[in-house]
Amino acid sequence: MALLQISEPGMTSAPHQHRLAAGIDLGTTHSLVATVRSGSADTLADSQQQHLLPSVVHYSKDRPPLVGLEALAKANKDPLNTLASVKRLMGRGQNDLATIDGHLPYQFAETDSSVPRIQTVAGAVSAIEVSAEILKALRQRAEDSLGDILSGVVITVPAYFDDAQREATRDAAKLANLTVYRLINEPTAAAIAYGLDQQTSGTIAVYDLGGGTFDISILRLSKGVFEVLSTGGNSALGGDDFDYAIAEWILQQLPNAVADDQALLRQCLTLARQAKETLSHHETTEITLDHWQGTLSRTNFEALIAPLVKKTLSSCRRALRDAKLNKDEIDDVILVGGSTRVPSVREAVNAFFERTAHSKLDPDKVVAIGAARQADILAGNKPDQEMLLLDVIPLSLGIEMMGGLVDKVIHRNTAIPITRAQEFTTFKDGQTALSIHILQGERETVETNRSLGKFVLHGIPPMVAGAARIKVTFQVDADGLLNVDAQELTTGTRSNIEIKPSYGLTDNEIETMLRSSIDNAQDDVELRSLREQQIEARRTLEALNAAMESDDETLLSEEERQQLYAGHSELAATCKTSEDSEVIKAAIKKLEKSAEFYVERRMNSSVKKAMAGQQINDI
């Protein structure tokens, strides 16, 4: 006999309802789904009791795509139709393919779209579509395990994912028919999994080395609030690269090996992965391939991956510098990601931070578990536990000014979500429209930063230059997506743009932009000063022109007029020929000095006109 739920008079069963929510770690190599049951968060297994789902999809002509272990089994025999590590392509454009540091042994279809598509026997597919297949499999696993439809999910992304990469992740979730409560950074989710919200304060470094991405985040915890002080990393560096280092070593041992033999490369990668896992627990491992057999020692393996590990430590050093912290100010270090199982990685991290890193939780599962706990809160299952997560934006956001300068509205490493507004004005008399150009980067000029988008605000009432008030508002939401709104305050006319670029920046490009801003800091200061003086000179010249054209001839004698024209020409010539801001500044002051008599006469003339016909008692 089935049980029937009853409730007290005047009460409903609604308070007892538990909304099913899940956390998803959409990884480069493996993906997981986790949920909170009976107050405990854990990952969900498939029918074979496997928790890790290989992030691999196999396409064929006559049946739906295979996902996970079934797809991975096809990798050696059908490598071009078995797609792995597509996370490295999320939010990337056609022009990025040549600069991606990852190994992508696929055939790309020729297309007019800015989004790269991989050619398979089932047709061309994008990274978004491949990721959607992985998310569908995880959604099905969760619903089979929980016995009901998911109300929503929290999906994790690398801390360095930009707007386009985050938007691509959301698009993949939509294709998988998932409601996304929120995207959160993987290191932040890991901190939640370790229960750091239960502490009162602390500064934590989260070292996350997964299969295909590396992230380092410096978090500050204060009264249950996480603030990301800085982030760094590389979205094209991870355990996959360890595998390739071993695979390349194997290929060097093989006589007559063909470098572009994709089937052979896949075989070597499979053996490399097995060797890597064995060497985490043993000093040597035997590798057998066709008619060749060799031995790889842990010492040799550590030498092969040493340059890669060194790269991660360089990112850690930069993250500390960005956070304005020293190593001794870090209270705890957390290891995340399956690649942190490699003994030499743990030793290197411990040595760098001069302390033993926490690794008690399964490094493959911690991100999904943290996401599940956050999803449970966002689903409303724990209304008394509101956890506030403050992530940061990786690069400054600003707007183009006259002279090709960039005015930063939101600076890099600002905690999000954030809304900031600044007021701007018109440059010319009678200006009725304003072009708004949104830029990303740390340099001072438009050409040295990245363009995110443009839009035009129309309907500005014609006024003298500088009289209009245009409020431009930058809003970055919790997922790191940007919306820019412009409003003319007199009329209320407004226009806006949601920044959804077709592709994103690589981490190398972000690093290059940051290094460039540091290396060129002094030059940028000087260039900005020069541009500002050039703009001021233009204002002075245009104001003098407008005044002389509008005034009658009685204010100036011909000799005086020629004197002002000469000063005008001298300043204009100085602006064209001089690259020294101080020289231009001096030329502006010289013209203003020579025009003082004219300014005084115009002012007196304006006062006389205003007073004409007025009595003392009327004033």
The count of residues in the chain is 619
Query: Which DSSP state fits 388?
Result: E
What backbone phi and psi angles, to 5 degrees, belong to 201? -160, 170
Question: Would you state the pLDDT for residue 486?
Answer: 87
Enter the tokens of residue 259: 């470098």
pLDDT for 387: 54
Catalytic positions, please? 25, 87, 186, 208
The Cα–Cα gap between 235 and 96 comes to 13
Q: What is the second-level CATH architecture of the domain 522-611?
A: Up-down Bundle (1.20)
Residue 262, amino acid: Q
**Contact assessment for residue 214 and residue 238, using Cβ atoms and an 8 Å cutoff:** yes
Extended strands (E) in 312-358: 332-336
How far separated are the first and last CA of the chain, in Å rounded? 96
pLDDT attached to residue 2: 43
* Token pair for 194: 């370790």
Intervals of the chain under pLDDT 70: 1-18, 98-104, 113, 197-198, 223-225, 257-260, 383-392, 413, 479, 499-525, 550-554, 606-619
pLDDT for 560 equals 78
Cβ 548 vs Cβ 591: under 8 Å: no
Contact 127, 100 (CB under 8 A): no
Q: Which of 240, 231, 188 is nearest to 213 (CA)?
A: 240
User: What is the residue whose two structure tokens read 């929980």?
Assistant: 146
Location of each CATH 2.60.34.10 domain in the chain: 393-504
| Cα 330 to Cα 551: distance, rounded to the nearest angstrom | 68
The residues, ordered by sequence, that sit 6+ positions from 566 with a Cβ below 8 Å of its Cβ are none
614, exposed or middle or buried, with CB in 10 Å at 0-12, 13-18, 19+?
exposed
- Which uninterrupted H or E stretch holds 494? strand 494-499
- Residues carrying CATH 1.20.1270.10, the chain: 522-611
DSSP state of 324: T
Residue 446: Cβ within 10 Å count: 19
Q: What six digits make up the tokens of 395?
A: 């690069």
DSSP state of 95: G
Q: Cα torsion for 307, 270, 289, 257, to the nearest 10°?
A: -60
> Does the model's pTM come out above 0.85?
no
Q: What was the pLDDT predicted at 515? A: 58
* CATH fold label, 18-239+304-391: Nucleotidyltransferase; domain 5 (3.30.420)
Q: Collapse the DSSP code of 254 into the 3-class scheme (helix H, G, I; strand E, B; otherwise coil) and give the result.
A: coil
Separation between Cα atoms, residue 527 and residue 531, nearest integer Å: 6
Q: Would you tell me how many other CB atoms lie within 10 Å of the CB of residue 192? A: 25
Which residue ranges does the chain devote to CATH 3.30.420.40?
A: 18-239+304-391
Question: 393-504 architecture in CATH?
Answer: Sandwich (2.60)
Q: Which two tokens stand for residue 394?
A: 């990786």
Tokens of 84: 């792995």
